[in-house]
Structure 1
Amino acid sequence: MHDHTELTQDRIGHLKERLEREITKKICPLDVTAWQAPGEPVSFEEAVVADYCPFPPGTWWGAPWSTWWLHVTGTLPEGHAGDEIDLSMDLGFVGDWAGNQSEAMVYTSSGRPLKALNPRNHRVALNHGTLTQRFADEGEPLIGTDGGIELWVEAAGNPDMTLHLGGPTELGDRRTAGDEPLWQFRGAELSVRRKEVWDLWLDIDVLDGLMRQLPSDSTHRARLLHGLEQAADEVDLHGILAGAGQAREILAGHLGSGANSSAQQMTAIGHAHIDSAWLWPLRETRRKVVRTFSNVVSLAEEYPDFHFACTSAQHYAWLQDSSPELFERVRDAIERGQWHPVGGMWVESDTNLPSGESLVRQFTSGLRWMREQLGVRPDCLWLPDSFGYTGALPQIARLAGMNWFFTQKLSWNTANTLPHHTFWWEGIDGTRIWTHFPPVDCYDSIVSADEVKKAEANFKEKGVARRSILPFGYGDGGGGPTAEQVERVHRFADVEDAPQVRLGSPDDYFAQARDDYPQAPVWRGEMYLEFHRGVYTSVHALKDGNRRAEEALTAAEWLAAAAARLGHPYPHEQLEQLWRRTLLLQFHDILPGSSIAWVNREAIAEFTAIRAELGQLMDEAWQALSQASEGEITGASLINPSHSDRREVVTVDGRPTLVQVPAMAAQPLADAVVDPEHPVRVERELDSIRMSNGLVEVCIDTHDGLVSSVVDLVADRELLLPGQRANRLVLHPDYPDCFDAWELQHQYRHSAVVVDDLTGVDVLEGPLRSTVRVERGESGFIQAITLDADSRAVEFSLDVDWTEQARVLKVDFPLDVAADTSVDEIQFGHIKRPIGANTSWDDAHFESCGQQWMLLGEPGYAVALANQSTYGHDVSPAGGDEHTSTQGVMARLTLLRAPQSPDPHPDRGHHHLVYSLLADAGVASAHVEAARLNQPLQMRDGALHLDSLARIEPVRGFAVIDSVKQAFDGSGDLVIRMHEADGTRSRVRLLLDRGGYLSEVDLLEERIGDPTQQLPTVAVSEVDLALRPFQILTLRVSQR
């Protein structure tokens, strides 16, 4: 027979386009008037009493970030009895991104939330559907008995920031965005929704899409094309309704043709990834939650088999505050088993930058809120879009009660692909969590045939496992699933040559997948994302603000717990709210610095406010302790908020003073002052300045201001490579191909400019502290190199008024250690990362993220680099060439970046950065040095002695106390969290200031059914603990 394949395919394509246009039939336009709210959004009650002006089609509206209220009125003409009537409104939509342009929320005449409008969901059912019927039953029909219609629309004039991700724009902050309107209103109208046409369009869409995915010589493809042609023959384009039924009957056989016996089983789960902030401010996310949830809960009410997974306790809390009625509808959907709160976290956090304790609190705050307000305790960690996943996460998640982990972000890798989609992920301590990556490689499928077939072909476990997840629904800025997508799922339920796609819940999938795949493989360690490496550094003020807030939170909890021992009320609610505010700022587009200027500005200010409020809580706790103290309390005290005993130099009344304070304790200043054993001496030579304290000697070349030598005098060892200079500042061009704030791409290394414009070297010397100050003229860099008495660390600081654009600043440390790996601190432990590029995996890992220190060493000796708020770094081989056998490493901290999008001016302004080089280092000494930089001793009025509530004495190995606080439940019990930090089987002794009954608990402070410790059954004040490598242990101490 003759081949008319291409002609027939074109015919089907044109028919599909025609049918889509015929789904609705216009009846009449509606009248619209408008009012622009001055400033920020207002309530419905305030909006409806404002003065409105005519708003005809063609009107330009929507200055960036403005809010407009539209009053929509009209009358349905007679003659439409039995018709399904829709309102359709076009705010001026461009393209089809549902959440990154103008969008709106429709309310009834009495202010009840009805429906959200976006480019992919811009019709409102007025007399059909479950919600419409409910309103009518409750006496509020959307079409009155006289045909009258009255609705209110809150429209957001949000700019489409995706148009500017390739370059700078001032649209990302209302203060700089201007008043030029962005959107042109196209009108509102009534139309008849013709369901028969919609159903036929969907049938053809699914089968035509599947047909085009099959091989050209496939028999099934030919059969599908013939069936589609037969259906097309039944459709009279002059009277489409007449033939729609017959056409659907023809296609029904193909839609129910029966899946192949080996067909994959895909669980389709509705999803609406809503970034808590990104290309819009936090205040807009509150409204996005209302818009998205209104559409999704209506979908759940319309389709009883529909399932929806949704994360972030913060979003539910916003909904509860913004729209109580809608919140109750969501709770009803949860009770029906259709809506599934997942994730368990307060927000979808970044997992590389926050501390371990912060990640714990993401779960404790999120899970406790969900249990109290939603009546559920999720067990699936759903984190689809964070920028890589720390190797500590499996243990944290399992201790929080998580059984499953879901993400798709590793599909963004640029060089290497993980070899699994379904597997066990094993963390640094050996804890495993069942993990699934959806093979569709996204979290916002539209359930198109090409996506379904891609997932089928891409699934790495095919042949040994059959089940996968298909997350569908518009995302990033919200929007969520649509009825069209649900209908596509129904049509893919049982089709030949396609996976069996069925609606289901996360629990449905994970329970069945684990049972069906008992021999799943294991991936060990971190899951590094080969993308978005710049976020370890972008917007340094956020990183610094977060680190300071984290340290202040745990310090305030410990001091408040001490004060509570003496009757001072423990500020449970204040601390919880401050934690939640911090956790929100750790969202995976806020803390990484990948949001618009508005978000960055507010987050930096919020970190400052959080620290101020924590300072007030600490003042109140200290005052309570002072008032309860017996005897003389004049003078001053030093508080050590860290887990380590401290012996260091501090500044008292402008003078360096050497002090010694136990861990998590306070001591009168007079008792804390000690004499130095190794004072500092300074020698000036012709071309150098040499500082030495008998432990370490550091030499600064006065010609270039760089460090030319660092000698460990105890080990008699030079730490720098021969002829090399340390603390050298290097600027690299930083022009990523895409995603400015996110990306640091390998080509930055192809060019470098050394900051060498030296203008002066000064020395401030003294026996307790000596500092060499280096000024660099035109660049505005001021470096300080400091050596303290009794210290094996050389401290470096940098002050700079940063004005660069598209540059990244690094600082070099060429170290004479034969290291094959860098040991980088991460949450609750550390990880070894290869130095060099032997494999494509190593080569792609050219920038790393760590917490507060990294160790570089060889057998018997190591040095550490500690930081105050610098996360990004790289380490590469250095020192050897064809003439020498010196083996060393070049360690570089990434100090600042200067991306231009989405924030055009991030990091502009003054920065103070601090880092240090520690000689003869180990895990324990690196922790102590990091504590010195990050948890400074605090001076307080009143000479008060305060013992540690809990402290650790090492017996073998090393462990760290991470938090000491009162229990969440208000019982007054003390909760102590610690972790094994050395990576070995350690034994430590826990000492309590007050005896009590100990129990091992999970992160929610509930008893563990299978404890790891044999704890005494009587009250004790000390106990020996055996810890596995990197084990997190939480103990509860009660008085019963």
Structure 2
Amino acid sequence: YGPIGSILLTGHAHIDLAWLWPVAETRRKVRRTFSSVLHLMDRFEDFTFNQSSAQAYAWLEEDDPDLLERVTQRVREGRWEPVGGSWVEPDSQVTGAEAYVRQLFYGQRFFERQFGIRNTTAWLPDVFGFSGGIPQLFLGAGISKFFTIKVTWSEHNAFPYDLFWWEGLDGSKVLSHTFDNPGAGYNGNITPLDTYGTWKNFRGKRLHDQTLLSFGWGDGGGGPSQDMLENYARIKDYPVLPQLQMGKVEDFFANLPTEGVPTFTGELYLELHRGTLTTQGLVKKLNRESEHRLAEAEAFSALASLEGASYPHAVLDRNWQSLLLNQFHDILPGSSINEVYQDTHRELRAVVATAISIRDTAITTLSGGGEGGTAVANPSLHPRPLTAILPPGAATEAFGGVSQPVADGTLIHAPGVTIGGFGLVSATDTGEVPEGTGVRASSAADGTILENAVLRVTIGADGTIHDVWDKAENRAALSDRGNQLWAYVDRPRAWDAWDIDETYENAGFEITAVDGIEVIEEGPLRASVRVSRTWRSSRFVQTYRLLSESTRLDVETEIDWHERLMLIRAVFPTSVHAHEATCETIFGVQRRPTHRNTSWERSRFEVSAHRFVDLSEPDYGVALLNDGKYGYSIEGATIGVSLVRGPLHPDPFADEGGHHFTYSLFPHRGDWVEGGVVREAQALNALLVPIAVGGEARNRDGFVHGSGVELGFGALKRAHDRTGVVLRVYEPHGIRGESVLTFDRTVQSATRVNLLEEDTDAEVTVDGPSVTLNVRPFEVISLLLEL
């Protein structure tokens, strides 16, 4: 009997950049593993090996440049294959849109500089699910193929394909392959169990006569062993077993068929590891802050550079790469040991601080500098009403309008004063609060009331939201008490930090005890009610805040957490009847059913969302916004958000201590598009920035104004390796049409570029200060502008 089937083998060392060891140990693992692989290459002439993650090679460049040179020589020979095209193998649910772009941007740039190659295949074997926004980004970075393993780990519903087109939100497709090794998965061995089992499980064999199998000790590195390579010689042509061939990942994918291949559309949801959307909440909050602050620092620095200021390319690059490292798929998801997070907290706090310093320096330059006044900058693409808290000591005596002392400074809030996209205004005259507007807090028989011209909120004696009455629409936003805090026994069958079991709701109870309710701000610009609770050894302080003329009710939350194996969630029963919820994801939204008719839907009891989840009828909706939470449930009309967990393994101190974040209830007219949910979520996450400047600080109109199809903001930065600035925008609502961007100066030229900042042949129309674009649903557009 001859061999049956065919497998292309690729040597592999899955090196988790942190997990059960800190990053410092990973750097040593890289050197040991790479040295071992090179030694085996000297002995086994047909042995080929792949290794992902530009970060690993960048460490080697610092730690052992001679070893990197030996690796580079093997790359030239075609026996060592840098794969993946990304800085690390990143989490692909929590990582933000622009940060995912930078994973590919910095990864591809490093591989091209060091090895002279561009990857066309994404290598992400161990990532816990994938946003539907990712295929478009792969293609934009020159990556047209995709490999993963984790989709085969789902608990209930087997993923239907192992050779397929993966279609993203915008219609982009990448050719994808996975294998199901009954041995050790992506850390395979060259034994009949692994080789025969992988071929037997390959469902795409009617489409293609070969599957892939990676082999080598992994997770902690190590890679292929002498025994594995000796086994290869013994069984590569063994009767009945699949024929084995060493080769390169890129070559394997280049030979895959493209016709007759099935398509899977949307997110690749993993029916496992749902707890990683919540575990290590501080890391997720710092990740969100880092993403927004870096984008702000780049944008204002780019604008300042147009007026002659230097642009801090090197500092921004270093801080982006620090963030990207901490988005590795065992760091950001919360599945590493305590020592890892001691490093991560320090590093991400440094990123935030550095980004704020760069941003504020640029804003000061744009405003004219000096002392004695205050300017307020808008770090968003869209116009924003003036709302800002000026720090203590700011020059408030210059205001001609109304201000309100608050705990952390002076609040100015003037919905009638608008700041254009990336514009500045001098905070000297906010106007008066018109009669009939403003906001107040008062006590009533049915609870404590927060009320402005458009919303009336009742906080009950139990600290929950008993009613949200929308005056403009003459309807209630909730069907029952909102912001119920529920505690659940959280003892997953396995994988403490990773998992939430689907039966968790069977062991839950509401936290009803209240220590106190007090009005802490009475208006006229903002009214606030604080609710304090003690539960077991933990303390919860939540402050409900309502601004004048706003329908957004903020719930500022501080938790001092000291529980283990418990999960805390906030629950909001809305008054909206909708069959689908809208959840923000990478450069778009994922629509998910609100029912659990099938096993696929029942398995999605905890799902990811970035800055908002929305339930809308055609003429009315309710969104739940956040500034650092990612785990949600949506069933019927009820939205739940996971706030904090307390797993024991691998970090027995996970989430221990203080947490500070905000989530917001946002009722709105119309559906989520008409209601401006994307803009409101951006406003919650990117507050207007007050800066002390000269008393005669000049106002600056917005840098850009949009019309036509609305666009969302990705990035504004100086281009790398060429002149001009790069503006990245995207269509956030799923609408097709024409969009016009009008700048505050003449546009000399505008060129569509890809995510690597290289010219494409897509058309752009320039007319004076305006650029006209034809956009398709959820399209990401990068423009190189000469201004």
Question: 1:490 Cα shift?
Answer: 3.3
Match in the other structure for 2:397? none
Does the aligned pair in 2 maintain the 1:952–1:988 contact within 8 Å? no
1:320-331 alignment runs, 5 A limit: 320-331=61-72
1:30-49 alignment runs, 5 A limit: none
1: CA distance, partners of 2:700 / 2:14 = 47
Residue-by-residue CA offset, 1:896-953 (whole Å, 9 max, x unaligned): 0111111111111121221111111624621222122211111101153464675242
Match in the other structure for 1:150? none
Match in the other structure for 1:489? 232
2: CA distance, partners of 1:399 / 1:929 = 28
Does the aligned pair in 2 maintain the 1:439–1:468 contact within 8 Å? no
Does the aligned pair in 2 maintain the 1:644–1:931 contact within 8 Å? no
Does the aligned pair in 1 maintain the 2:741–2:770 contact within 8 Å? yes
**Alignment match of 1:460 (pick from 163, 186, 203):** 203
Match in the other structure for 2:79? 338
Identify which range, 726-735 or 771-780, moves more after superposition.
771-780
2: CA distance, partners of 1:585 / 1:987 = 38
1: CA distance, partners of 2:143 / 2:698 = 42
1:616 aligns with 2:357: yes
**Alignment match of 2:34 (pick from 271, 293, 297):** 293
1:10-89 alignment runs, 5 A limit: none
Residue identity in the other structure for 1:914: T
1:960 aligns with 2:708: no
SS of 1:954's partner is strand
**Alignment match of 2:469 (pick from 693, 696, 711):** 711
2: CA distance, partners of 1:978 / 1:946 = 25
Does the aligned pair in 2 maintain the 1:355–1:827 contact within 8 Å? yes
Residue identity in the other structure for 1:1001: V
SS of 1:461's partner is helix
**Alignment match of 1:696 (pick from 428, 436, 455):** 455
2: CA distance, partners of 1:896 / 1:584 = 23
Does the aligned pair in 2 maintain the 1:444–1:472 contact within 8 Å? yes
Match in the other structure for 1:98? none
- Residues 648 and 586 (structure 1 numbering): CA distance in 2 closer, same or farther, change over 3 Å? same
1: CA distance, partners of 2:447 / 2:522 = 15
1:928 aligns with 2:671: no
- Residues 436 and 929 (structure 1 numbering): CA distance in 2 closer, same or farther, change over 3 Å? same
Does the aligned pair in 2 maintain the 1:490–1:502 contact within 8 Å? no
1: CA distance, partners of 2:451 / 2:557 = 21
Match in the other structure for 2:188? 445
- Residues 946 and 350 (structure 1 numbering): CA distance in 2 closer, same or farther, change over 3 Å? farther
SS of 2:758's partner is coil
Residue identity in the other structure for 1:369: F
1: CA distance, partners of 2:260 / 2:19 = 40
Indicate the structure (1 or 2) with the bigger Cα radius of gyration: 1
Match in the other structure for 1:951? 704
1: CA distance, partners of 2:658 / 2:628 = 15
Does the aligned pair in 2 maintain the 1:390–1:526 contact within 8 Å? yes
1:499 aligns with 2:257: no
Does the aligned pair in 1 maintain the 2:764–2:771 contact within 8 Å? no
Match in the other structure for 1:1027? 775
Residue identity in the other structure for 2:481: R
1: CA distance, partners of 2:698 / 2:83 = 46
1:553-592 alignment runs, 5 A limit: 553-592=294-333
1:741 aligns with 2:497: yes
1: CA distance, partners of 2:191 / 2:327 = 34
Match in the other structure for 1:200? none
1: CA distance, partners of 2:39 / 2:211 = 26
Match in the other structure for 1:1015? 765
1: CA distance, partners of 2:499 / 2:506 = 16
1:108-507 alignment runs, 5 A limit: 258-259=2-3, 263-440=4-181, 442-507=185-250
Identify which range, 345-354 or 918-927, moves more after superposition.
918-927
- Residues 839 and 910 (structure 1 numbering): CA distance in 2 closer, same or farther, change over 3 Å? same
SS of 1:462's partner is helix
**Alignment match of 1:773 (pick from 530, 537, 543):** 530
Q: What TM-score, normalized by structure 2, do the two folds share? A: 0.93
1: CA distance, partners of 2:29 / 2:736 = 48
Higher RCO (CA-CA < 8 Å; seq separation 6+): 2
Residue identity in the other structure for 1:782: V
Does the aligned pair in 1 maintain the 2:612–2:681 contact within 8 Å? yes
Match in the other structure for 2:554? 795
SS of 1:715's partner is coil
Question: 1:1025 Cα shift?
Answer: 1.2
Residue identity in the other structure for 2:689: Q
- Residues 988 and 851 (structure 1 numbering): CA distance in 2 closer, same or farther, change over 3 Å? same
- Residues 996 and 671 (structure 1 numbering): CA distance in 2 closer, same or farther, change over 3 Å? farther
**Alignment match of 1:509 (pick from 222, 237, 252):** 252
Does the aligned pair in 2 maintain the 1:1001–1:1007 contact within 8 Å? yes
1:983 aligns with 2:734: yes
- Residues 674 and 986 (structure 1 numbering): CA distance in 2 closer, same or farther, change over 3 Å? farther
Question: 1:401 Cα shift?
Answer: 0.3
**Alignment match of 2:756 (pick from 988, 1004, 1007):** 1004
1:636 aligns with 2:374: yes
Residue identity in the other structure for 1:680: V
Question: 1:601 Cα shift?
Answer: 1.2
1:853 aligns with 2:597: no
Question: 1:644 Cα shift?
Answer: 2.6
1:670-689 alignment runs, 5 A limit: 670-671=428-429, 675=433, 678-689=437-448
SS of 1:424's partner is strand
Match in the other structure for 1:665? 423
Does the aligned pair in 2 maintain the 1:278–1:594 contact within 8 Å? yes
Does the aligned pair in 1 maintain the 2:571–2:639 contact within 8 Å? yes
2: CA distance, partners of 1:472 / 1:284 = 23
Question: 1:833 Cα shift?
Answer: 0.7
SS of 2:347's partner is helix
Residue identity in the other structure for 1:759: D
Does the aligned pair in 2 maintain the 1:646–1:928 contact within 8 Å? no
Considering only aligned residues, what root-mean-square deviation do their CA atoms show, in Å?
1.8
1: CA distance, partners of 2:227 / 2:748 = 60
Residue identity in the other structure for 2:627: Q
Question: 1:643 Cα shift?
Answer: 2.4
Does the aligned pair in 2 maintain the 1:855–1:922 contact within 8 Å? yes
Query: Which runs of 4 or more aligned residues in structure 1 lie more than 6 Å from their structure 2 counterparts after TM superposition?
Result: none
SS of 1:663's partner is coil
Residue identity in the other structure for 1:899: P
Residue identity in the other structure for 1:658: H
Match in the other structure for 1:651? 389
Match in the other structure for 1:124? none
SS of 2:308's partner is coil
Structure 2: any 5+ residue segments left out of the alignment? 393-408
Residue identity in the other structure for 1:866: L
Does the aligned pair in 2 maintain the 1:268–1:489 contact within 8 Å? no
SS of 1:905's partner is coil
1: CA distance, partners of 2:314 / 2:230 = 46
2: CA distance, partners of 1:272 / 1:439 = 18
- Residues 314 and 674 (structure 1 numbering): CA distance in 2 closer, same or farther, change over 3 Å? farther
Q: What TM-score, normalized by structure 1, do the two folds share? A: 0.71
Identity across matched positions, percent: 35
**Alignment match of 1:834 (pick from 590, 593, 603):** 593
Residue identity in the other structure for 2:724: D
Residue identity in the other structure for 1:471: S
1:541-560 alignment runs, 5 A limit: 541-560=282-301
SS of 2:515's partner is strand
2: CA distance, partners of 1:637 / 1:395 = 38
Question: 1:657 Cα shift?
Answer: 1.6
2: CA distance, partners of 1:484 / 1:780 = 56
Residue identity in the other structure for 2:502: H
1: CA distance, partners of 2:310 / 2:701 = 19
